[in-house]
Structure 1
Amino acid sequence: MEMTLRWYGTGYDSVTLEQIRQIPGVRGVITTLYDTLPGEIWTPERIAAMKDEVEASGLRVSGIESVNVHDAIKAGTAQRDEMIDHYIQTLENLGKADIHMVCYNFMPVFDWTRTELARKRPDGSTVLAYTQKAVDELNPEKMFASIGADTNGFILPGWEPERMDRIKELFELYRSVDEQQLFENLRIFLEAIMPVCDRYDINMAIHPDDPAWSVFGLPRIIINERNLQRMMKMVDNPHNGVTFCSGSYGTNLENDLPHMIRSLKGRIHFAHVRNLKFNTPDDFEESAHLSSDGSFDMYEIMKALFDIGFDGPIRPDHGRMIWGEKAMPGYGLYDRALGAAYLNGLWEAIVKSEGRVCD
């Protein structure tokens, strides 16, 4: 596996490439063109400039997160074919730039949902958190307003101001889209892009819905093993794969994370590994990566990835805000660096216990 860190780009991220380069074992970044809108074609010039900046720091672009999917594709509107064509052109430009992994999601309206961005934990750190009771009592059009004061001045992925300004319009757009229709729209999208993925060996890694159940009545489909198997069978191509995010799948305690990993052998192209602490089944908060700090056995998650021969990029996911850091919630430097070191330590222990030699 290749340890990486997510990086939003100069001007958008409080963390620098120089800092990432100093985290032991981190070899690359998962990055994006953060100022591009869904449906906008990524030009070869912009991709090259981004790649040159990363490589000048001694790192590599290990993958893209995300090339966002336009709502016309997800909802299946008249503009769908045009937006798919734009997506294919972006993939071709990435492939020509020797970039071969793209993480994306197919979630309507909200890319992820949390009810708190800075819940204070007993140790004084703050974390992202979710409680179903708060969601049930909230008007979805007021969702961003309820958490906006805790963004630390950063634009949150999936919660961009121009998107939140259209929140009522977006809910109306998806009013007639149920789970079955969303699956069908995903099939159409994947069948259209697989030829360019085959041509340039681009692994598409769909990110799970977060949390892994319907929120505000919106359909959620990438939520469990059954639905993942359905997705892969309906477009049976090895480039049609998944981002295994332990934190997102783990929001649903019915998901057996190590078992899910083993059932997806050969189709996990990217991994996000993080921990959650459940206070009740309907209330969770994001913890340190350490197993004992949350509800997941991180050793067993990493062991399952090892057992299936996973050799793709992996990254620590959301971190706590610690040591007085002010950053995009979930994406500070310090706790994610600790997470990377911890996951690397687990991996080394697993590799050596199997009589292998670490890279």
Structure 2
Amino acid sequence: MEKTWRWFGKNDKITLPMLRQIGVEGIVTALHSIPNGEVWPLDAIKDMKEFIELHGLRWSVVESLPVSESIKYGGPDRDQLIENYKISLANLGKAGIKTVCYNFMPVIDWIRTDLEHPWEDGTSSLYFDKIRFAYFDCYILKRPNAEKDYTADEMAKVHELDKVITEKEKDDLIDTIIVKTQGFVNGNIKEGDLNPVSIFNGLLKKYDGINKDALRENLRYFLSAIMPVCNEYHINMCIHPDDPPYAVLGLPRIITSGEDIQWFLDAVDNPHNGLTFCAGSLSAGLHNDVPELARRFAHRTHFVHLRSTEATPDGNFIEASHLEGRGHLIKLIRIFEKERPDVPMRVDHGRLMLDDKDKGYNPGYSFHGRMLALAQVEGMMAVVRG
């Protein structure tokens, strides 16, 4: 598999020469300066591609060409937004970029409640605490009938947390869940926005009446519309699984399991309609056997995210070492090296370690933590190939 790295453009503190030194072959990036829904100009795409190639690397994957919320909930302007998306895809195809990762998660991308959860060795990683998330849902968002989505035991713990949680901890939850994990990936809310809770609740409101079947149908509509462009330019679309892989905040999630993935692939049965196999997202759900899913869907996988989590029956999960956890990465490498040896892969959500902490890296995208992960994965790849 091609060793790639998610890079956030020319202003990224991690530079392309640094990535050459650690064995990266391909770059995963996007035109982050262009607002969601607007066309990516061909000249801007070519400029980014040439900049990457000047450093001896290639632009392997677009992550992401964002799908606007109005496309997801079926707003009145979705057809125009889809037309813009098709133009952007065509421009990518003209520039020779053939793999596009995206997601169809309503309102919110990946969710964590703690961005620096400490480990005994002094490193830290991303963490999801279900009780703190339920507190955010019920006490901060005050989503109508939110308590019905949690068990009586969970709500009892939420009420107990309310007695001791500090104002700073509440602010940190808002910043972590709404702002920090969303704003740097073309999110709906960014650093500096006033009243993020109000903005967030307004976005949730747009999905009133949108259940799983409706969201599935909107995904089918979107994919059916763009497949002719993908066919013309040989572009592989690869959807990212929901993170975490279950319903949250009263929103439907539709890429959470083997059943969901099979539906999605059958709904638009085109080889260009495929999957980003994110072992981390899938492993956060105890219902998922990650290696079995890899074997089942390798033939329609166009991009692989190699990371792993440890999940517990109480609903909590944490980023695991790339050598451990429910992702079983060495099993996945054996599968993909056999079935899709040409597919690009990247490590993901590395720990904060050494002097990463004070560099201001995007959450989950440290340098030394991901460099260690890449070395671990490269070692596993060598064992599998050897």
TM-score, normalization: structure 2? 0.85
Q: Which residue of 2 aligns with 1:5?
A: 5
Deviation string 1:7-32 (CA, Å, 9 cap, x unpaired) is 01122x221111111112x2111000
Q: What letter matches 2:10 in structure 1?
A: T
Pairing 1:323–2:354 present: yes
Report what 2:336 is aligned to.
305
Give 2:148's aligned residue: none
C-alpha contact 1:288 1:335 (8 A) present in aligned 2: no
Q: Deviations over 1:211-242 (max 9, x none)?
A: 00011111000001111110111100000000
Provide the rounded CA distance (Å) in 2 between the counterparts of 1:79 and 1:152.
28
Amino acid paired to 1:170: L
1:57 to 55, 58, 69: 55
The structural deviation recorded for 1:148 is 2.5
Partner of 1:202: 235
- Does residue 1:156 correspond to 2:210, yes or no? no
TM-aligned CA deviation for residue 154 of structure 1: 10
The residue type paired with residue 311 of structure 1 is: D
Work out whether residues 144 and 159 of structure 1, in 8 Å CA contact, stay in contact via their aligned partners in 2. no
1:231-310 equivalences in 2 (<5 Å):
231-278=264-311, 280-291=313-324, 294-310=325-341
Q: Give 1:48 deviation, angstroms.
A: 1.1
Match of 1:170 in 2: 203
Query: SS in structure 2 opposite 1:55?
Result: helix
Displacement of 1:297 in angstroms is 2.3
Unaligned runs of 5+ in 2: 143-169
CA drift of 1:302 comes to 1.2
Percent identity between matched residues is 40
Q: Which amino acid aligns with 1:308?
A: E
After superposing the two structures, state which structure 1 stretch, 296-305 or 312-321, moved more. Answer: 296-305
Q: Distance in 2 between matches of 1:279 and 1:224?
A: 17
Q: Deviation of residue 106 (structure 1)?
A: 0.2
Contact 1:262–1:307, Cα closer than 8 Å, also in 2: no
Whether the 8 Å contact between 1:4 and 1:62 is mirrored in structure 2 is: yes
Q: Secondary structure at the match of 1:156?
A: helix
Q: 1:317 to 1:149 in 2, by over 3 A?
A: closer
- The 1-side partners of 2:257 and 2:344 are apart by 22
User: In structure 2, what is the equivalent of residue 20 of structure 1?
Assistant: 19
Q: Does 1:179 align with 2:212?
A: yes
Q: CA deviation at 1:288?
A: 2.5
Contact 1:212 1:222 (C-alpha < 8 Å) held by counterparts: yes
Q: Quote the Cα distance in structure 2 between the aligned partners of 1:333 and 1:156.
A: 16
Query: Aligned AA for 2:334?
Result: K
Match of 1:33 among 23, 31, 34: 31
Evaluate the alpha carbon distance shift between residue 299 and residue 153 of structure 1 in structure 2; reply closer, same or farther with a 3 A threshold: closer
1:229 matches 2:228: no
Instruction: Say whether 1:342 aligns with 2:376.
Output: yes
CA 1:153–1:342: 2 relative to 1, 3 Å = closer
Unaligned runs of 5+ in 1: 353-359
Cα 1:305/1:177, change in 2 over 3 Å: same
Does the CA contact (< 8 Å) of 1:8 and 1:31 recur in 2? yes
Distance 1:238 1:312 in 2: 14
Conserved 8 A contact 2:285-2:311: no
CA contact (8 A) 1:246 1:274 kept: yes
Which of the two has higher C-alpha Rg?
A: 2
Contact 1:117-1:147 within 8 A present in 2 as well: no
Find out whether 1:88 has 2:86 as its counterpart: yes
Deviation at 1:280, TM superposition (A): 4.7
1:146 aligned to 2:173?
Answer: yes
CA RMSD, 1 decimal: 2.1
> Does structure 2 retain, via aligned residues, the 8 Å contact 1:131–1:282?
yes
Q: Which moved more, 1:188-197 or 1:34-43?
A: 34-43
CA-CA distance at 1:136 after TM superposition: 1.2
Q: 1:266 to 1:153 in 2, by over 3 A?
A: closer
| Other-structure match for 1:356 | none
**Match of 2:162?**
none
Alignment of 1:63-82 (within 5 A): 63-82=61-80
1:147, distance to aligned residue in structure 2 (A) = 5.2
Q: 1:101 and 1:263, CA in 2 relative to 1: closer, same or farther beyond 3 A?
A: same
Amino acid at match of 1:94: L
Q: Which amino acid in structure 2 is aligned with residue 86 of structure 1?
A: N
